Chains A and B, each alone.
Chain A
Amino acid sequence: MAATLSPPPVRPVARPRMSPRRRARTARGIQYALLLVAAAVVVAVTDWRQVGVSFFNPTVAVEMLPTLGRALTNTLVYTAAAFAVGLSLGLLLALMKLSSVRPYRWIATLYIEFFRGIPALLVVVAFGYAVPVALGVSIGSLTAKAALALGMVSAAYIAETLRAGIQAVPRGQVEAARSLGMSHGRTMVTIVIPQAFRIVLPPMTNELILLTKDTSLIFLLGLTPAQYDLTKLGRDFLSSATGGLTALFVIGACYLCITIPLGLLARRLEATTGRGTR
């Protein structure tokens, strides 16, 4: 038995040991010092005048302003449309994956594996060139094309997220609803999906943020200036203007203006809808 063994010999220490709390404080102090040194080095070696001219050039930023609003709106519209497609298709796939009809499960699995496995870029290109040729139909609206291409990719991820969320709702919730005489469908809609929604809110926010950034791929569909999204606009300014990389920073800031509020909103929603469940 371990208890009968003699305890490990206490090694003599050269200097008095620091108390754990002192040690933690020292460690923290060292980390702060490192941070300060690193910041000082960055500040010292950076050519601030050059940075101002080529990264944060106000003339370029002002020049971009008139077209920026349009591009920002376009990005939002593409994202929203693609998310609408992704969410509806994703919910359908999730329900298919949970279906008792085996072929439905196969189809859903196949779809999910396929669209998760290939780069979104390929799907966008396919929608631009291959689909019109193959099916003999051409989708007129660019927004529709973008929504379908990106939405179909996103649906694969959303389906998996929703499936996991639905399965995470305890069985007892379903049994209670069924024992009260509620049908399978009604139970799904009034009990399971609302509870699954709260469970999937954080991963769903991620999905939406990824989708926002993926709209940068739609330049592959060929855009008129009025259809430019943020990234395409930025690329144009990068290649034409003299402001160096300023366009890059402006565009980056615009993306953050979309994604950060999204994250905040999700946290708010989570807090309010989570009152009951915990």
Chain B
Amino acid sequence: MKTTRRRVLLSSASAMVAASVGTRAFADIALDPGKDEASRQLLARVVRVAFPHPNFPDSAYLRTADTVLAAANGSPAQRLDFAASLYDLDQAGFAGLDDAAALAHLKTLENAPFFRLTRATTVVTLYDDPEVWAVLGYEGPSFDKGGYLTRGFNDLDWLPEPRIEEYEAAQ
């Protein structure tokens, strides 16, 4: 069903632009979502629902959304598919869904090119972000600070100090 609607959408772009359906007009479809703030916010919400970290700031999700949008900027067909997918989400009222309903909705899209691109880009972007590292407790580049030699490489104190020599040598 969804596919049929999508096909209509893609094959009649001009008719679509003129038409008006639901809360948002077809005329509003963002053919270049990278330049559209509403698309950006919607995509950031998709990323947050798919990779839910209450402690991550919105700024990190928005940066990831921007990287996904840049990755989606491929052939006209890819751009249209991506724009149409965002449009469908918008029509489905995705932004207003609670976390559980939003997650359930994304599950139905799991194999769609739109979601696959978003997922694949997010795993190499969201967690490659210094602001996210700070939340996760990862300290990032260390060489310029002298490594972790004097900054806790061995500060774990909830277990006994283990042997470091080989068994035979220690006997």
Partners in one complex: no
What residues make up the interface of B, taking CB atoms closer than 8 Å to A? Answer: none
